[in-house]
Amino acid sequence: MKITIVAGARPNFIKIAPIIRAIEQKQQEGIPLSYRLVHTGQHYDKNLSDTFFEELNIPKPDANLEVKSGSQSVQTANIMVAFEQELLENPTDMVLVVGDVNSTMACALVAKKMNLKVTHVEAGIRSGDMTMPEEINRIVTDSITDYFFTTSPLATENLIRYGAQPDAVHFVGNVMIDTLYQNQHRFQRPLFWEDFALEKGNYIVLTLHRPANVDEEDSLLHLLQGIDALAQGKKIIFPIHPRTKAILGERQLDTQNIVFIEPQGYLNFMYLVAHSFAVITDSGGISEETTVLGIPCFTLRNNTERPETITIGTNHLVGTQVEKLVETYTSFLQNGMKKAGIPELWDGKASERIVDILWQKRN
């Protein structure tokens, strides 16, 4: 059986790494399972793409569609045109997509229209927020998926409520957490650690890239000033996403505590998170990682498609107003961290389960 695996953006690379490793293990057992890796080129900066391939030992892609940036529609359309050609030239039995980026939806659509089986890893999660491009990508992808792999019982329930056949939906755990466990012993202290006099447990990590937080310059500045003030002398390490950087431009900000750095590779970034006092972010994936690492997380969004990071994990949903962040953070300083655990099946074995199931279902 031949599977075409699609990856386009930073979180995708982190999710496909353990799936490829699980396929390669099957191959070593003599099972005739092969894959072709297609990079759509949605993220192409070295520090959002190549670094992850190197650090996570992901094989060089068999094809790179090099679509690069564009509006939502231009990017989606360009991926579709290029991926159709890719599939015509390289026939396959199944297309596997992960997550919720434009590459996920675009390639699932192309595959389904070519009558190929579609597998979606991280299916069924929903924020209910149709202003998020990712939510549209999730809904469209899941409406044409044949094999669904979910990270939570709630995601499974969502899919069945929307009409998926129960035997097509498999709750397997979280591939992003597979990568975390597989690489935890390799997390690497960044070279700048001493330059900024960082100490374990005494700094905050900040990431921001959602349009709702970063696309409007004045509100982004207000948010950053509020976060800077809340730190009370703790350094705030801020690997700045290209989208956010483009809004801020060359502007010099009058902040005392925020340390602006380039987006980090996985091993440095996860070292920073694992040893931080707390994380402030608008990322979904990072709220999963902090949950597993037991690091307090404050999510600057009004909703989340990953509610288990709040009900079970260390995440606090604080909205997009800095005042609410300050209130929640202050209460955390006074009351300490909430009691937290690790969601069911987030045990590092999700990818093995996925590959086992796909092999069983090969006909």
Query: Known catalytic residues?
Result: 209
The length of the chain in residues reads 363
Q: Which residues of 327-356 are buried (b: 16+ CB within 10 A; e: fewer)?
A: eebeeeeeeeeeebebbebbebbbbbbbbe
Residue with CB nearest ligand UDP?
A: 285
Nearest CB to ligand UDP, comparing residues 284 and 313: 284
DSSP reduced 3-state for 144: coil
Lookup result for tokens 């709702």? 212
Q: How far is the CB of 31 from ligand UDP (least distance, A)?
A: 29
Residue 269: which residues within 8 A CB-CB, separation 6 or more?
239, 263
Q: Cβ atoms within 10 A of the Cβ of 23, count? A: 23
DSSP symbol at 339: P
Quote the least distance from Cβ 334 to ligand UDP, whole Å.
29
**Tokens describing residue 239:** 């690997």
Q: Round to whole Å and give the CA distance between 206 and 322.
A: 13
Indicate the residue among 9 and 33 with the shorter CB distance to ligand UDP.
9
Q: Which is nearer to ligand UDP, 119 or 207 (CB)?
A: 207
**Least distance to ligand UDP, CB of residue 93, Å:** 28
Nearer to ligand UDP, 245 or 324 (CB): 245
Q: Please identify, using beta-carbon distances, which residue of 12 and 145 lies nearer to ligand UDP.
A: 12
The stretches of the chain forming alpha helices (DSSP H) are 10-28, 50-55, 72-89, 102-113, 133-143, 153-161, 175-183, 211-214, 217-230, 242-248, 266-274, 284-293, 308-311, 322-335, 350-360
Which residues lie near ligand UDP (CB under 6 A)?
A: 10-11, 14, 176, 207, 209, 239, 263-264, 266, 269-270, 283-286, 289
CA–CA distance, 304 with 283 (Å, rounded to integer): 10
Minimum distance from CB of 291 to ligand UDP (Å)? Answer: 12
Q: How far is CA 219 from the centre of its chain?
A: 24
Chain centroid to CA 288: 9
Judged by CB, which is closer to ligand UDP: 149, or 269?
269
Q: Which of 175, 178, 183, 177 is nearest to 267 (CA)?
A: 183
CB of 100 to ligand UDP, least distance (A): 7
We find the least distance from the C-beta atom of residue 121 to ligand UDP, in angstroms, to be 13
Rg, Å, the chain Cα set: 20
Strand partners, 297: 279, 315
Please, are residues 171 and 156 in contact by the beta-carbon 8 Å criterion? yes
In whole angstroms, the minimum distance from the beta carbon of 4 to ligand UDP comes to: 22
Q: In angstroms, rounded to a whole number, what is the distance separating the alpha carbons of residues 64 and 41?
A: 6
Considering the complex, state which of residue 92 and residue 276 has its C-beta at the smaller distance from ligand UDP: 276
